[in-house]
Structure 1
Amino acid sequence: MTEPPGNLPSILHRLNVVGQSVVVAVSGGADSVAMLRALLAVQSECSLQLRVAHFNHGLRGAESDEDARWVADLCERLGVVCDLGVADHETLPQSTGSREGDARRLRYQFLERVATTNDCQSIAVAHTADDQAETVLHRILRGTGLTGLIGIPQVRRLDSGVNLVRPLLGLRRQSLRQWLREIGQDFREDSTNTDRDFTRNRIRHDLLPLLEEQFNPQVKSALCRLAEQAEQTQIVEDFAANELLQTATIDRTGTSWVLDCEPLTDCPVAMVRTCLRLVWTEMGWPQQKMSFQHYTRLQEAICDPMRRGEISLPYPVQARLTRRKRQQSLELRVESND
């Protein structure tokens, strides 16, 4: 059998997946089918326990139902246990503002539920280097900061303790499809992947090919390198910001964090903003509501010795600057519902 592209055993060792029970998220598309076949090819060598999970979003009617049947049949032929989930859009309220966003949220909830129910340590999803390039470019177009340039992380720890891993993130989509052809493995095509109403599809099918043809044939590789460099820079900055945050912290509870402004006043503005972002992360506050302008507003208030009172922030976090005994402090708090 033709070997899968890339050095998958080495990747799995680096991701600490070797010897684990893994949920393999399979949509039926080329990337996820290639990931399943590749993991099966190294299953014995890497001591993997694999089970497939497929989530029927229900957004494409009969086509979605056929995808689910196709994945179930594939798993039966390959001898892999398959868990099927179905979205119930009628009874579950929207939270992201789009059906696609809600479907994605429900899918990850289903994957995590399958993993925890079956004592699996990791969930493998099939994002590729092409997905990384598209994500970084999409965020640049929307006006992202340094954190957004990191793009898709290769490993993310979920609240349940399960790791979400992306073993194909360094591989190109084209090489995966070529390998599937070599081994005679078919796959499903999602009709929405060519719908130009979606910004990501316009980036994939129109903008990136234009950039490759007229500006830089290696633009996808360049975007992936940018993501990697941004991640390494963020690691260093977070390490320094954590130390600064410990020095500046006066008090912390389950609903509040009080900072001494003095240690932060003479720091670079980017470092102060990173400290504030870490506070939101540690407290589990909704970061999607916090824009660059909100963090800048807080940073400027911290560095203004004459500033007092409330600082306007998105619900549910409240911010207040106070001064007692020559110490200026910033209190960040979420009011209790009691």
Structure 2
Amino acid sequence: MNTYIQNKFNQKFHIFVSKHKLQAILIAISGGQDSICLIRLIEDFQQKYNKKLEITYIYIDHQWTQNSQQQIKHLINIIKKTTKKFIIYQVNQAVNSELKAREIRYNILIKYSIKYKYQYIMTAHTQTDKTETFLQHIIRGTSLNGLTSFNEYRKFNHKVQLYRPLLDFKRTDIKWLCRKLHLPIWSDITNYNYKINRNRLRHELIPYIHKYFNSNIDKRINDFLINSKMENEYVTQNAIKLYLYSRHKTNIALNYNLIYRQHIALQIRTLQIFFFIIQNRILI
């Protein structure tokens, strides 16, 4: 009998596949418990609902640890049982920055997706990842737009989008399911490297907040982000209207007098849209 998590995932993923009429999907895995759990959920779904769905797994190895080769072998042994295609990229460039490493990963994923015509990339991010990312953005000092950027869907360009099907689940839920299903979890020592800011948030700050301030921090932050997303979308829609209304018909210019009369939040967002469009025109 399936668990609540499995049933919820199957229902959600079935709607996703049907809505977008997917025939193939690229799944980016990291080797941790969330990824191993996602592999199991996907394989169970395919056997039950859609055996024709083409699934490809991709792993990007930054070679941060001496035992990275053993971790790759571990993943190969797991995916070999699924008989699915498994792609491995090894990054030879030594990168100590988490942000730079993420940029490299997504560049590889997007290029591979475009080359082999994958419309969606799937990752195993959970609600706990959403909490960690929120706190990182707060510490760095970000805008409302930046705060609400970590969503279930993310559009990279007109060809490739990101989908996070586990974003409604906490990491504790995933850990419970992994134990129940006796999944072979690899313990990644980089997750305990406190030089990486996310690890300090995960192992020190969030447990502290959970113990002394709010025992349901993931849900509270998630509720806040849902409300903030609606407000952000409202500002964005009005900024788009202002941009379309104030742009020059032939030249690359905006009507200063129209924009200056608006709220400062709309002015800033409209200018962001303007410069984003200019930049993309130059790149094209």
TM-score, with structure 1 as normaliser: 0.75
| Alignment counterpart, residue 25 of structure 1, candidates 4, 21, 28 | 28
Q: CA deviation at 1:22?
A: 0.8
Q: CA deviation at 1:29?
A: 0.5
CA distance in structure 2 between the partners assigned to 1:103 and 1:259 by the alignment: 37
After the TM superposition, which of the residue ranges 40-49 and 200-209 deviates more from structure 2?
40-49
> Which position in structure 1 is the counterpart of 2:173?
175
The aligned runs of 1:242-253 (5 Å cut-off) are 242-251=240-249
> Which position in structure 2 is the counterpart of 1:162?
160
CA distance in structure 1 between the partners assigned to 2:107 and 2:76 by the alignment: 20
TM-score, with structure 2 as normaliser: 0.89
Q: Tell me, yes or no, if the aligned pair for 1:20 and 1:121 is still in contact at 8 Å.
A: no
Q: Tell me, yes or no, if the aligned pair for 1:196 and 1:202 is still in contact at 8 Å.
A: yes
Q: CA deviation at 1:160?
A: 6.3
CA distance in structure 1 between the partners assigned to 2:108 and 2:259 by the alignment: 42
Q: CA deviation at 1:129?
A: 0.2
1:34 matched to 2:37? The reply is yes
Relative contact order, higher structure (CA 8 A, sep 6+): 2
Flag the 1:130–1:277 CA change in 2: closer, same or farther, 3 A: same
Q: CA deviation at 1:89?
A: 0.9
Q: Tell me, yes or no, if the aligned pair for 1:249 and 1:258 is still in contact at 8 Å.
A: yes
1:54 matched to 2:54? The reply is no
Q: Which has the higher strand share?
A: 1
Q: Which runs of 4+ in 1 moved over 6 A?
A: none
Q: Tell me, yes or no, if the aligned pair for 1:250 and 1:258 is still in contact at 8 Å.
A: yes
In the TM superposition, what whole-angstrom CA distance separates every residue of 1:102-121 from its partner, at most 9, and x where no partner exists?
33222222222332333322
Q: CA deviation at 1:172?
A: 0.6
Q: Tell me, yes or no, if the aligned pair for 1:128 and 1:170 is still in contact at 8 Å.
A: yes
In the TM superposition, what whole-angstrom CA distance separates every residue of 1:168-195 from its partner, at most 9, and x where no partner exists?
1111111111111111111212211112
After the TM superposition, which of the residue ranges 181-190 and 102-111 deviates more from structure 2?
102-111
Larger Rg: 1 or 2?
A: 1
The aligned runs of 1:181-330 (5 Å cut-off) are 181-251=179-249, 257-284=252-279
Q: Which has the higher helix share?
A: 2
Flag the 1:24–1:17 CA change in 2: closer, same or farther, 3 A: farther
| Alignment counterpart, residue 146 of structure 1, candidates 120, 144, 147 | 144
C-alpha RMSD of the superposition: 2.4
CA distance in structure 2 between the partners assigned to 1:26 and 1:9 by the alignment: 19
The aligned runs of 1:9-24 (5 Å cut-off) are 9-12=10-13, 13-14=15-16, 16=19, 19-24=22-27
Q: Tell me, yes or no, if the aligned pair for 1:193 and 1:201 is still in contact at 8 Å.
A: yes
- Aligned pair count? 278
Flag the 1:114–1:72 CA change in 2: closer, same or farther, 3 A: farther
1:82 matched to 2:86? The reply is yes
The aligned runs of 1:86-101 (5 Å cut-off) are 86-89=90-93, 98-101=96-99
Identity %: 22
CA distance in structure 1 between the partners assigned to 2:21 and 2:9 by the alignment: 11
Q: Tell me, yes or no, if the aligned pair for 2:61 and 2:89 is still in contact at 8 Å.
A: yes
